[in-house]
Amino acid sequence: MNLKNKILEYLRLPRLQTAAVTAVTPIVGSLVAGQQDVVHLLVLFLIGFFYHIYGFVLNEYVDVEVDKKSIDLKKKPLVSNMIPKGYALFISLLSCACSCLLTLYFFPSVLPLLFLLSAILLGGIYDVYGKKIPGSDFILGLGFFFICLMGASTVSHEFTTLTYIVCSIYFAHIVFNNAVEGGLKDVDHDTMGGAKTLATRMGVTVQNGMLKVTKVFTVFSSIIKIIFMGLIVSLWLQPEIRVSLSYNHAIQITLIVFFAVIIVFTMYKFLQSLPFDRSRLKRLFSVHEISSYFILVLSLYSLIDLRPTLFLIFFPFLWFILFNVILYGKLLQPQV
């Protein structure tokens, strides 16, 4: 394997295309708490970036034997043996250490480190036991709750209702991403590998090439998304946000409604029992996740101002597109 391909494999290992979305999580928490200093926010980005690498590489390390049961995943760096498992574990632990050291140096107080360590612990528990404990997606969601709260704690140790709502939105968002989207796209090899995910426990299967989505799983998915949207609405009702059906908020409301329609449409499409097409599912999930994230950011516009809003919208999205093209040659369909 030449040097270029080796570098690409190491960049694919931590799913680098989604790293910016994870990395802005503590930034969102900090912005909600009133932080505007660019250096402060950049450090939080790096902490979130290393947290992403830690979690995703550890997940790849733990799940490699299950992933080997899927023909769709044969090109993944660890499955294909392009990267030794030991190297992956070292990268994960090194990234974890980098997050902690950055926090200790730039934010030397108890709460930021405590919340970061909580997120690291919960993320690690999910990675190790995610295929063994049904509902472990809630553990990972709680990890993102704490990484968002960690960002807020670098500004103030007194948290508002608004801060808790935003952190809870991240919780619901991650639970949906992992339990619903992850459960559906991996159900074929999860079933063969005996993984105990919520999707497999609720009867979702692939039979004769057909994805069979049960009613109970559809209801569960809908409840999580309703909770997500309910938290978004509660965000609008906070005095700091002041979203109203006025002319001044027309563009904001229009965009939120637009992405809400996309969320409903994509959910309808991937919760149907249709031929199992992992590539199609991944495209739908990408659009769904981006739309959910955009709704959160757009809802915060009146609080965090225009420039941070534009950054939170365009930077992770452009990062996602750029690294998808670099790593996989496609815009919205990474090979994960």
C-alpha 205/C-alpha 13 separation (Å) is 27
Q: 287: closest CA among 257, 317, 310, 314?
A: 317
What SS3 state is found at 205?
Answer: strand
List the chain domain ranges.
3-328
Per the model's pLDDT, the better-predicted residue between 83 and 226 turns out to be 226
207 bridge partner residues? 210
pLDDT computed for residue 333 by the predictor? 57
How far, in whole angstroms, is CA 201 from its chain's centroid?
22
Average the pLDDT over each of 29-43, 125-139, 189-203, 253-267 and give the range with the smallest value. 189-203
Q: Which residues contact 133 (CB under 8 A, 6 or more apart)?
A: 139, 196
- Whether 253 shows a pLDDT value over 90: the answer reads no
Q: What is the pLDDT of residues 12-68, one digit of tens each?
A: 999 999 999 999 999 999 999 999 999 999 999 999 999 999 999 999 999 887 777
C-alpha 249/C-alpha 321 separation (Å) is 29
Decide if 96 contacts 54 (C-beta within 8 A). yes
Dihedrals phi, psi of 134, to nearest 5 degrees: -60, 135
- Whether 335 shows a pLDDT value over 70: the answer reads no
Measure Cα distances from 229 to 81, 167, 189, 223, 246 in Å. 41, 14, 31, 10, 21
| Tokens of residue 260, six digits | 């809400």
| Tokens of residue 34, six digits | 């009133």
- Length of the chain equals 336
Residue 88 CB burial class (10 angstroms; 0-12, 13-18, ≥19): buried
Q: What is the pLDDT of residues 260-318, one digit of tens each?
A: 999 999 999 989 878 888 888 888 998 999 999 999 999 999 899 889 999 999 999 89
Instruction: Find the mean pLDDT for residues 161-176.
Output: 97
What SS3 state is found at 275?
Answer: strand
C-alpha 31/C-alpha 198 separation (Å) is 34
The CATH class of the 3-328 domain is: mainly alpha
pLDDT computed for residue 252 by the predictor? 82
Dihedrals phi, psi of 207, to nearest 5 degrees: -120, 120
Which amino acid belongs to residue 150? M
